[in-house]
Amino acid sequence: MSDDVRYPSEKPEHPYFDSSFSGMLLGTLVSRFCGGCGYGSIGQLYTRVFEDEKLDPKLYPLVIGIGCYSQIFFLVHKNAQKMLTLHGRAPAVATGMKMANPKMKPIIFSGDGDCLGIGGNHFIHLCRRNLDCILFIFNNSIYGMTGGQAAPTTLYGAMSTTTPYKMFEPRSDGVELALAAGASYVARTTVAHPRTLMKYFKKALKHKGTSVIEVITPCVTYFGRKNLDNLGSKGEKGEIMDTGGKMFEWIKKNSIHINQAKFMSKEELFNKYIIGEFRYDPSKSEYSEEYKKIQNIAMKGD
């Protein structure tokens, strides 16, 4: 295959080509993600919402943690002020930004290893303070960037390079954690439901308080290729999820809406993702507003 065929010289027809950072920087749409990865769609959806809602880039800085999705900056809106932070520390950086400039509403991109593994503490305390920001947790249930190690969210029975026999640890649940810690808007959706993702994102933009949106995304290269769609459970015939399509189907099949899940038993919900909105509480006090009250008290005193 010649290079001309793989990289056509004419400008690709893409509705958000002109808005993307790579379109501006390199003149072509660059994605560094593997085939079947969900991060491309997420970058695209972010750009779409950014464009639709006409977000002011000065007020909505994008704080990106470390993981495969760090490369998402090529796809997100060119005007968005993006910064790459350290592994797991994105919520803490966003806290500093928000408190130093309370007009801002930071948008945090974070992964499952990033937010529930190394940065779990910052995640809990961000939710506890109910700081006005949006936190996306991209959950592909694997450490993709380092080559497919087990994540805290890896499903029971799954294979990874550090669990070569099978995953035996119970998984951590970002939504449960956010609910317990006190985030005021908590939702989970998947890349297979892009319109829902946009809906939740737009709702979070209008919400004042911590919005935690967990997004289930497929990793074909390190999760799908090595796992059967029944995750190795005995007695069932499984199929290797080695294409993006198969993984999307698996995600759809494995996701159960919250209304449906109410009528299901614990065993039935084992290794499943419950999607939907878990909490929407606009009445909960927001941290920077509370601090404003403290400032007023302090300024009044002698």
Partner 1 sequence: MSNVNGKRFLKPGKYLMMGNVAMAEGALSSGLKFFGGYPITPSTEVIEHLAKRLPEVGGCCMQMEDELASINAVMGASLVGAKAMTATSGPGLSLMTETISMAANIEIPFVFCDVQRCGPGTGFVTVPHHNDIGLTRFAGNGEFEVIAFAPMSCQELFDLTITAFNYAETYRCPIFILSDAYLGHIHEVVNIPPKEEILKRVIDRTIPKDTKGAKFTYEDIKTHKLTIPKPYIVGTEFCPPLIIHLPHNQDGILMPEENSLRFMKIMIDKIRDNIDKISLTEEYKLDDAEIIIISYGLPVRASYRAVDLARKKGIKVGIFRLITVWPFPKEKVKQVVAGAKAIIVPEMNYTGVIAEQVERVTDLNIPVIKVPKVATLHHPDDILKAIEEVAK
User: Site residues (CB under 8 A) for partner 1?
Assistant: 21, 58-59, 61, 63, 73, 78-86, 89, 92-101, 103-104, 121-122, 124-125, 291, 294-295, 297-299, 301-302
Minimum separation from the CB atom of position 135 to partner 1 (A): 14
Minimum separation from the CB atom of position 290 to partner 1 (A): 11
Q: Measure the CA–CA gap between 231 and 234, rounded to whole angstroms.
A: 9
End-to-end CA distance of the chain: 78
Q: Measured from the CB atom, is 5 or 100 closer to partner 1?
A: 100
Minimum separation from the CB atom of position 138 to partner 1 (A): 19
Residue 150 Cα distances to 94, 216, 239, angstroms: 27, 16, 20
If you write DSSP's letter for every residue of 120-181 in order, what string do you get? HHHHHHHHHHT-SEEEEEEE-SSBTTTTSB--TTPPTT--BTTBSS---SPPP-HHHHHHHH
Minimum separation from the CB atom of position 82 to partner 1 (A): 5
Q: Measured from the CB atom, is 41 or 288 closer to partner 1?
A: 288
Residue 80 Cα distances to 17, 59, 149, angstroms: 15, 9, 32
Minimum separation from the CB atom of position 161 to partner 1 (A): 25
Q: Measured from the CB atom, is 60 or 223 closer to partner 1?
A: 60
Q: Measured from the CB atom, is 78 or 246 closer to partner 1?
A: 78
Q: Measured from the CB atom, is 123 or 201 closer to partner 1?
A: 123
Cβ 189 vs Cβ 215: under 8 Å: yes
Place of tokens 């035996």: 168
Minimum separation from the CB atom of position 261 to partner 1 (A): 32
Q: Measured from the CB atom, is 125 or 208 closer to partner 1?
A: 125
Cβ 266 vs Cβ 272: under 8 Å: no
Return the structure tokens found at 84: 């790459």
